[in-house]
């Protein structure tokens, strides 16, 4: 399957305002069931999140089909989370920030993000196009009608979209990371950044 084929399957068509609104906890739960039913064998990941990654020197743009970080494909597979990486030492961190690091919850947001990027299970990281970020936002936006709880992922995803739109693809891009089990091997620097954010949040709690 080509990258273009994968992208076409990974990004559902979404246009205009959401046709429905989920006003109750029961409606949110029903929406989650519908999304999960479309992904056979789906299991809620131990951790997940959408982040924004600084593009490193020599890291190709998302428009380049030969780029390892092409949208809808695993992000930076040739760039493992190696603590000895000179770029990591120079930056002082891995260059990927997760405004919200979800662990042990937010199941609806998890399946919505997975739907937007084509993730079906396991531990993986994906580079996202702005359109894929918009798709995730559009798919989850009906949940905002339920005002009894906050929606931190919606706020985070909108912020990421604004940031990558403002600075441009040559500076930064969005990533989605899913960790099926925190005991799984780290797949790349984005995965490492998410796990670090989860650990920090747990320590602060």
Phi and psi for 122 in degrees, rounded to 5?
85, -170
Closest CA to 130 of 92, 104, 187, 168: 168
Residue 129 to residues 8, 121, 167, 176: CA-CA distances in angstroms? 12, 20, 14, 11
Predicted local distance difference test score (pLDDT) of residue 5: 30
Q: Could you report the per-residue pLDDT of 114-141, keeping only the tens digit for each?
A: 999 999 999 999 999 999 999 999 999 9
Nearest to residue 39, comparing CAs of 95, 111, 104, 97?
A: 111
Domain ranges of the chain: 20-204
Pick the closest to residue 178 from 128, 132, 140, 122 (CA basis). Answer: 122
What average pLDDT does the chain have? 79
* Residue range 145-154, pLDDT digits in tens: 999 989 999 9
Taking the C-alpha atoms of residue 125 and residue 77, their distance in angstroms, rounded to an integer, is 9
Alpha helices in the chain (DSSP H): 3-10, 25-37, 86-91, 107-117, 130-140, 152-167, 189-204
CA pair distance 35, 55, nearest whole angstrom: 32
Q: Is the pLDDT of residue 79 over 80?
A: no
Q: Which of the four CATH numbers 3.40.50.920, 1.10.10.10, 3.30.70.2010, 3.90.79.10 does domain 20-204 have?
A: 3.30.70.2010
pLDDT at 37: 96
Question: Model's pTM, two decimal places?
Answer: 0.78
């Amino acid at each position: 399957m080509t990258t273009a084929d994968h992208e076409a399957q990974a990004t559902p068509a979404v246009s205009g305002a959401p046709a429905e609104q989920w006003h109750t906890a029961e409606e949110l739960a029903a929406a989650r069931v519908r999304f999960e039913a479309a992904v056979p064998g789906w299991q809620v990941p131990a951790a997940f999140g959408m982040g924004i990654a600084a593009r490193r020197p020599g890291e190709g743009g998302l428009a380049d089909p030969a780029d390892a970080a092409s949208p809808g494909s695993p992000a930076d597979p040739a760039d493992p989370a190696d603590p000895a990486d000179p770029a990591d030492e120079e930056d002082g961190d891995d260059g990927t920030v997760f405004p919200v690091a979800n662990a042990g919850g937010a199941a609806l947001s998890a399946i919505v993000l997975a739907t937007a990027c084509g993730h079906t299970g396991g531990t993986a990281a994906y580079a996202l196009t702005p359109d894929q970020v918009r798709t995730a936002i559009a798919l989850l936006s009906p949940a905002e009608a339920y005002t009894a709880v906050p929606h931190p992922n919606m706020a985070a995803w909108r912020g990421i979209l604004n940031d990558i739109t403002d600075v441009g693809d040559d500076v930064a891009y969005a990533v989605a990371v899913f960790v099926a089990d925190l005991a799984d091997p780290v797949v790349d620097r984005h995965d490492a950044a998410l796990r670090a954010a989860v650990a920090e949040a747990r320590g602060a709690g």
